[in-house]
């Protein structure tokens, strides 16, 4: 990838504001779905203060406008083609930083096309631990339900829209 692309700090927190997953990505561009960020194979990610881990494949991250989720589209051979995090609305405090609170639920599409919702147990546990307000609980649940249907039906942007963006970090 060109060194002239802008670096963006991606910061997921937990609902109480504690640091969760965070990493840097390159701003690839925008389209009607939102902002596309890319990470080449070997990029480093970190969960909280744990040691960083290296990504085995490239991926692109879609940060949509006004939606309670983000979506990672992973290069082959990652076992998950698409990994959507249910989050609070992503905020851009600056052009080079995006942040959102992870609300535990994940909508995942495997390479074989099967779709499932992950971390229901964590969502239930964190409703108590972090005292999620009722509108956060219902918003997260509604988003997961709608997203599961969209991902399973391969509705845009889950219809291959990501492939042109992904090719920029995997080729």
Does residue 9 surpass a pLDDT of 80? yes
DSSP 17: S
Give the global pTM. 0.95
CATH topology of domain 7-170: FomD barrel-like fold (2.40.380)
Q: Which residues pair with 7 in a beta bridge?
A: 26
Q: In angstroms, rounded to a whole number, what is the distance separating the alpha carbons of residues 14 and 1? A: 31
Q: Residue 1: which of 32, 34, 30, 25 has the closest Cα?
A: 25
Both ends of the chain: CA-CA distance in Å? 9
Q: What are the tens digits of pLDDT across the range 10-63?
A: 999 999 999 999 999 999 999 999 999 999 999 999 999 999 999 999 999 999
Residue/partner pairs of 40-45 with CB below 8 Å, 24 or more apart: 40/1, 40/169, 40/170, 41/75, 41/169, 41/170, 45/21
Does residue 1 surpass a pLDDT of 60? no
Q: What are the tens digits of pLDDT across the range 56-113?
A: 999 999 999 999 999 999 999 999 999 999 999 999 999 999 999 999 999 999 999 9
């Amino acid at each position: 990838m060109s060194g002239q692309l802008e670096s963006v700090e991606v910061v997921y927190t937990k609902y109480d504001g504690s640091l969760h997953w965070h990493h840097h990505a390159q701003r690839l561009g925008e389209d009607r779905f939102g902002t596309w960020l890319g990470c080449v194979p070997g990029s480093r990610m970190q969960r909280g203060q744990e040691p960083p881990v290296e990504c085995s494949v490239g991926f692109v991250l879609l940060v949509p406008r006004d939606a309670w989720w983000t979506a990672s589209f992973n290069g082959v051979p990652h076992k998950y083609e698409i990994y959507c995090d249910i989050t609070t609305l992503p905020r851009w405090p600056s052009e080079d930083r995006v942040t959102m609170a992870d609300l535990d639920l994940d909508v995942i599409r495997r390479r074989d096309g099967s779709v499932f919702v992950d971390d229901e147990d964590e969502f239930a546990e964190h409703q108590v631990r972090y005292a999620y307000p009722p509108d956060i609980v219902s918003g997260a649940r509604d988003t997961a339900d709608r997203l599961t249907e969209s991902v399973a039906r391969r509705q845009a942007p889950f219809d291959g829209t990501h492939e042109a963006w992904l090719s920029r970090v995997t080729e």
